[in-house]
Amino acid sequence: MTEPRPRNPTLADAMKRVGVVERSGRGVDKIFRGMLKFGRPAPDYSYTTAQSVVLRLPTAEADLDFRRLVVEQERATNAELPIDSLIALAALHESKRVTADELAVQIQRDPASAKRTLEALTEAGLVAAHGSTRGRSYTLSASLYQAVGDKAAYTRQAGFTPIQHEQMVLNYVQQHGQIQRAEVMDLCRLSPDQAAKLLKRMKDKGALIQQGERRWSVYKLG
């Protein structure tokens, strides 16, 4: 989270001296940690204005499997998970897959910081990285999915290997005679750039031949 800043520093210091508040202003982090450690949705501050702070706490039931994973990790390292790591795990638990850019928005930091958080979780075995450095995305690791009794979920989220993508394209062309980039994107759930690279790779291997140029290109068996 962003470093806490009191709206009125003088008032905050006065309240600190009489023991009403903490000068460190860690209340927000504590609230986030308390919600996320139990697998609940993050607190909602979106209705906050310049005049007032509005906090909404979701009433969803605790996710005990997620809670157990957090407890086991903190016990293994003898340290609390950083708040950014908790937010990342919660985001992956909910959205299944995130990029560093997407996480950066949620932790209110730059993409480089978000990437460091995700890579640290990857090294810890909690998260799995997929794709090249530039287009890398992240999912919860296979061991975490196995721990919560959903072994198939990791395979679904990790997606297919390049060889499997090629076979899917070949099967499609055999059935339909040809394929376009947009159809590859839909078939393999790839971005435009990833689909273009897949088709080029298959063309270079001689598995496919290209007919037409650019947006009108179609690919047939080589």
* pTM of the predicted model over 0.75: no
Q: Taking the domains of the chain in order of start, what are their residue ranges? A: 64-158, 162-221
Rounded Cα gap, residues 171 and 40, in angstroms: 42
Three-class secondary structure of residue 23 per DSSP:
coil
| CATH code given to domain 162-221 | 1.10.10.10
Rg of the chain on CA atoms, in Å: 23
What pLDDT shows up at residue 177? 92
Q: In this structure, are residues 185 and 195 in contact, taking their beta carbons and an 8 Å threshold?
A: yes
Report the b/e string of 79-98 with b at 16+ CB within 10 A: eebebbbbbbbbbbbeeeeb
Q: In this structure, are residues 16 and 23 in contact, taking their beta carbons and an 8 Å threshold?
A: yes
What pLDDT shows up at residue 111? 93
Nearest of 127, 158, 159, 153 to residue 141 by alpha carbon? 127
Q: Is 162-221 in the same CATH topology as 64-158?
A: yes
- Averages of pLDDT over runs of 10 residues in the chain (222 residues) are 57 59 59 76 75 74 79 87 90 86 92 94 88 79 68 59 86 91 86 89 94 87 88
When the candidates are 3.40.50.10800, 1.10.3720.10, 1.10.10.10, 2.170.260.10, the CATH number that belongs to 64-158 is 1.10.10.10
Tokens of 190: 């790839």
